[in-house]
Amino acid sequence: MAKRPQAEKRSLAGRFDKLCLIAYELGLLLAVATLALVAIHQVFTHHESIDETSDSSHVLATAEHPDQFRIGSTYPVYRFNSDWEDPIGHVAVERVDGSKVAFRLDPKEFRWPIGRQGRILNVDDKRIRVNMGSNLGFKVGDHLNVFSDRQPIATVQIMAVGQEESVAALYSATDPNMRSEKLIGDIVSEFPIADQVVIPYSEAVNGVDALIVLALLGIYLWLWIRFRASPFATLGPMVAAHIRIPTYVKLAFHAVLGVPAVWFLTEFAIRSICYLVFIVCSQILHATIPTFLTFTTLQIVIGPLFGVILIGYLYVLMTHRISPFAVLVRHIAFKGGINKHTAQDLPEHITMWLFQAIIVYAFGRTLGGFFQENLNVGIGASWPHAPAVIVPMTAPVSFEGLARSIQSVSYALTHLPSPANQDALFLTIQTAIYNACILGCLLGYGYSLLGYLWGKRIRNVDFTIVGWLTNAVCYGPLFGVVLWQMLPPTAGADPTIVSGSLRTTTFIVEVFLNVVYTLSIWNLGTLFGVMTDKGVRTTGFYSVVRHPNYTMESLMFIMLFSRGLSTYHQWLAVGAFLLVYWLRSEREDQFMSYSNPDYLTYKERIQYKFIRGVY
């Protein structure tokens, strides 16, 4: 009889593991399918710049696809950027005359003024003539922003004003060698971001996106029934068995990849050094940064250093016939950290605890800032009159900030929400789930420090330069700021998803990924930590793959920025999430394999890092 509870316990654990497996694989499937649909929408969604303002109620656009517009139909107007991804209002088509499309609007229904736009008519001896004048309220000295394909390229200053035209001069340009003549035909606006009318992906397929996602879910469930096992684990090895990449193709790939990769790493190293100097001088020494240690000065060494490293990269590639990055990873692998072994006596345990305290302060303080920022954004979206929270990105974490956070939460709990739209409601849900995840992380950090009181000691910490880099690069206020300075913005000039079922689908998928990610953190519980060996979790999501949290977190962030993936630059930028979490997983595997024998057993049982049967 005593064995029955144990059998039931194992049965419940097995069911829990299977539920985690299904939830995790559904997250993967939904994310990949949705991002594929986003890419399709990117191609077939049309954007037309507003290039002339008649008055406060009428604007015009010179359309590349005028046949797409229907008289009387309404279309969203965007001033799209990373801080504001929603439409500022809607316009109705009044007439279509060749390539010219005239729109009417109600200024009272716009969230922001539509502003004044025009075009550069011609340039005569550096005198730039624009088709806007005193009729639109312009005066001498005003500045106008110049756009080419909705990308800001220059600023001009008005020198003389007529009734319907003005004369301006080039004030500044993104290209210092730009000639005024190249601006003929470009759009000018009083705002630093171009206004555009967006024609959504054909309404005839509205709803098809959702059907495609539902069909994929149906296929996934059918494969589960068919194989009585994970479709990924079943089909992955079958597909991999038929893929054979010749060695020369791999070498050619690494040779081509090496040029941009080596340049990126070289610049990242120099920027990281400058960033550390900035932190030490400004926040610790409160001193002026030496000129010779600024990026402006040190960037001259990037070229020569890049050349030397690239030669070494190609030499290793040709002589070892494997990726030089694999050789590098092998050389910088964790080899014991500070003590060179797990803590054994009391002084070593104290040392380990002090190192862990520094790690907890750096990462926990950062997460505390994220938590309060999420409160600001999430509560403000659905409770616009709630007390604002002090955001620690501009002010340090304080008791005052904690008190205001409590006030803000209390207001939300005692007042009905009033979100302005679906986006605001989604933002509140998304930030609330993410804050639940942060609370799970803070629980793990707190246990790291307080666990010593009841004998729960840390085995080891990865208190090394490589350990700090691979983990801190995932956090914006730490080394993430260096990475994102080097990457394109995550939001392009044009929105890719403006209406229809895909917009709702992306909301749902991102929330689902956020939920799975949060559950994976709480699945770790007190074992959660950064650069720390507190033990090995082998159940739940960690019975599926070794790094479910990194997979879900990176996909969640990519989905978060999906509406702004308008060019390959943005896809490259969000792809950095996959790269940094892959690097983090590699370092964690090395560290835990060295530090904990149980992890070696775990790696033998759970062979895949991110996708069962694939990788």
Report domain extents, the chain. Answer: 47-199, 247-331, 346-605
Distances (CA, A) of 365 to 297, 368, 374, 415, 470: 32, 5, 14, 30, 18
DSSP code at position 282: I
Distance CA 309, CA 326 (A): 15
* pLDDT value of residue 343: 65
Q: Residue 500 has what pLDDT?
A: 73
Q: Are 117 and 187 in contact (CB under 8 A)?
A: yes
How far is residue 197's CA from residue 362's CA, in Å, rounded to a whole number? 44
Give me the pLDDT at residue 456, please.
82
Residue 525 backbone class (left: φ over 0; alpha: ψ -120 to 50; beta: rest): left
- Residue 310 pLDDT: 93
Find the angle CA(423)-CA(215)-CA(434) to the nearest 5 degrees.
35
In 3-state terms, the chain is what percent helix, strand and coil (to 5)?
A: 55, 15, 30
User: What pLDDT is recorded for position 322?
Assistant: 85
Do residues 565 and 496 touch, judged by C-beta distance below 8 A? yes
Query: What's the start-to-end Cα distance of the chain, in Å?
Result: 43
Residue 278: both structure tokens together = 């900035």
Which pLDDT value is given to residue 247?
85
Cβ atoms of residues 82 and 489 within 8 Å: yes
Q: How far apart are CA 526 and CA 537, in angstroms?
A: 10
- For residue 15, the model assigns a pLDDT of 86
Look at residue 395 in the predicted model and tell me its pLDDT. Answer: 46
Do 468 and 360 contact (CB within 8 A), yes or no?
A: no
The token pair that represents 337 in the structure block: 């950290």
**Contact partners, residue 73, CB within 8 Å, separation at least 6:** 92, 93
Instruction: Give the per-residue pLDDT at 394.
Output: 43
How are beta strands 89-97 and 74-78 bridged, if at all?
Answer: antiparallel
Token code pair at residue 18: 């299977």
pLDDT score at 305: 94
Cα distance between residue 460 and residue 535, in whole Å: 10
* Per-residue model confidence (pLDDT) at position 326: 84
The span from the CA of 120 to the CA of 443, in Å, is 59
Cα separation, 101 vs 448, in Å, equals 63
What are the 10-residue block averages of pLDDT along the chain, 615 residues in total?
Answer: 58 84 94 91 88 91 87 92 88 92 93 91 89 91 93 93 92 87 91 92 68 87 88 86 84 90 92 90 86 89 93 91 85 72 73 90 88 88 82 55 81 88 87 94 92 83 89 86 90 85 88 96 93 92 95 94 91 92 92 90 94 89
User: How far is 247 from 253, CA to CA, in rounded Å?
Assistant: 10
For 269, the token pair is 């190293």
DSSP string, 66-123: GGG--TT-EEEEE--BTTB-S-SEEEEEEEEETTEEEEE--GGG-SS----EEEEEEE
Angle between helices 548-560 and 501-524 (to 10 degrees): 150
pLDDT of 282 reads: 86
